[in-house]
Amino acid sequence: MNQEIKYTLFIFATFGIGSVLLQGILVPYLEINVWKPDFVLIVVLMMGKRFGAVTGSTAGFLLGILQDSLSPLPIGITALPKALAGYASGKMNNLKLEGAINFLWFIVFIFVHEAIFYFILQFKLDQSYVYLIYSRVFPNTIYSTVMLSITYLSAQKYFTEA
């Protein structure tokens, strides 16, 4: 097993599983009304950026399934949006974007993730999709973007190539 695979597994085990635990333990205390950040999505985006599209989508799917198994949501409801976000983040890595443009794309990926998630969840809820867009998707996108910038600045050395 080469060093890159070992490092990928190390990052997945520490940051990925750690983010699932943070999502379950810390986020209920950070929640404002019904708006909450998605730490698992943040790690999936950073893993996709660092390791590529296949690793990003795999991490998104596995962490999404793990997150669903620990929450009252239906199993698999977050796996698809997280896998798509990880894949898109990895494909964006091929463009070698850095700085503000990189974060603009991350904001788009977070918004698309939230839109897909609430599109699927609307069938279980008793609310319209338009209401969910402006009451949940936009605030969650802003909250997750703020947490992404804090997380990225504090853990940047682990998610950049040496």
Average pLDDT, the chain: 91
In this structure, is residue 159 part of a structural domain?
A: no
CATH number at residue 120: 1.10.1760
How many domains is the chain partitioned into structurally? 1
Q: What pLDDT digit, counting tens, does each position of 98-135 carry?
A: 778 888 999 999 999 999 999 999 988 888 999 999 99
In this structure, is residue 162 part of a structural domain?
A: no
Is the pLDDT assigned to residue 162 strictly greater than 70? no
Q: Give the model's pLDDT for residue 95.
A: 80
35 forms bridges with which residues in the sheet?
32
**Quick one: three-class SS letters along the chain?**
CCHHHHHHHHHHHHHHHHHHHHHHHCHHHHCECCECCCHHHHHHHHHHHHHCHHHHHHHHHHHHHHHHHCCCCCCCCCHHHHHHHHHHHHHHHCCCCCCHHHHHHHHHHHHHHHHHHHHHHCCCCCCCHHHHHHHHHHHHHHHHHHHHHHHHHHCHHHCCCC
Q: Give the model's pLDDT for residue 126.
A: 85
Residue indicated by tokens 């950040």? 37
Structural domain of 12 = 3-152
In this structure, is residue 160 part of a structural domain?
A: no
Q: What pLDDT digit, counting tens, does each position of 58-114 carry?
A: 999 999 999 999 888 888 899 999 999 999 999 987 787 777 888 899 999 999 999
In this structure, is residue 10 part of a structural domain?
A: yes
Q: To the nearest 10°, the Cα dihedral for 102, 106, 112, 113? A: 150
